[in-house]
Amino acid sequence: MMEVAFVGAGGVGGHFGGLLARKGVSVHYVARGRHLEAIRRDGLRVEAASGTFTVRPASVEADARAVPTCGAVFLCVKTYDLDPAIEALRPFAGERACFVPLLNGVDAVDKLAAAFPGRTVGGQCSVLAEVLEPGVIRQARGPQQIVVGELDHRRTSRLEAIASVFAGSGAEVVLSESIQADLWTKLIFIGCLAGVVAATRSSVGEVLACAESRALYLSALREAVAVARAEGVALRPNIVEATMMRAEGTEPATKFSLLRDVEARRRTEVDAMVGAIVRRGRARGVATPAHEFLVAALLPAHLRGLQS
């Protein structure tokens, strides 16, 4: 069975890596600060919806260069930490290693593919998990899913190996034949809704119950779909209506990490989740006024977070 590494031991990396370690997979972490120290000292405690367990990873390092070469390296950092992570990962670019980004947005897979051509697998995940305290991950009820796919749409042995390593862990792995469409579908849902939720400092239910903020969300949806299609992404014809239905089925109290970061005066992922639509729209000649407004509304909070 392959060894795996998780760069980032937060909610996503901590949870999925914990599931693998519980199964007996050799899991290596790259973490930092008090979280790293707590995992080294006491192991990683995962308070999952199905029950609590503690695992001891094969290694926990501050520097990716100290981690042995693994068959798969999952990147679970914030999008603004991706560039330094790529530089630290260059020693992993051996024959066996493949890189799987589990980050928000659609930029990460392009950056990784440029840095490690032939070594990058498209990836995304769905899980509600967070760091409760150093060394402790809490996962709420909901999906525990990872979607992976080759950028050229092939079904390959490394995809099969990723699915195999997760088999029986409690996480579902889906092998996608159109990973770019999957990445954009998630960004269109999460990015637009999280942007409006954060800009209005409201919950999903409050946004959808207000005619004006609901209209803003719908405008953002249509813009993101137009940009994706301008880039040649094959989205389903009814994606705007389907995404609106998905939003209406979301727990009304949901606020998403973008608003939590704004409220905590932390650096945000506004560029990856909202700004990417503006940048890509300009490159393709697609107007994105709703997204430009959301960026303008959120940027002051992001800049405050940089100074904290």
Q: Where are the domains of the chain?
A: 4-177, 181-307
CB-based contact 199:297 (threshold 8 Å)? yes
Longest dimension (CA), the chain: 54
Q: What is the pTM of this model?
A: 0.92
What is 181-307's CATH number?
A: 1.10.1040.10
Per-residue pLDDT reduced to its tens digit, 248-264? 999 999 988 899 999 99
The pLDDT assigned to 54 comes to 97
Read off the pLDDT band of 229 (50, 70, 90): very high
Per-residue pLDDT reduced to its tens digit, 62-114? 988 888 888 999 999 999 999 998 988 887 766 668 999 999 999 999 999 99
- Residue 135 β-bridge partners: none
CB-based contact 274:238 (threshold 8 Å)? no
Query: Distance between CA 160 and CA 138 in Å, rounded?
Result: 29
Structure tokens at 260: 């939590």
What percentage of the chain carries pLDDT values higher than 90?
Answer: 87
Which range, of 26-40, 233-247, 294-308, averages the lowest pLDDT?
294-308
Q: Given 3.40.50.720, 3.40.50.2000, 1.20.1050.10, 3.40.50.2300, which CATH number is that of 4-177? A: 3.40.50.720
Please provide the size of the chain in residues.
308
Cross-sheet strand order for the sheet of 122-126? 122-126, 145-149, 172-175
Mean pLDDT in residue range 20-30: 96
The pLDDT assigned to 140 comes to 87
The pLDDT assigned to 66 comes to 85
CB-based contact 28:57 (threshold 8 Å)? yes
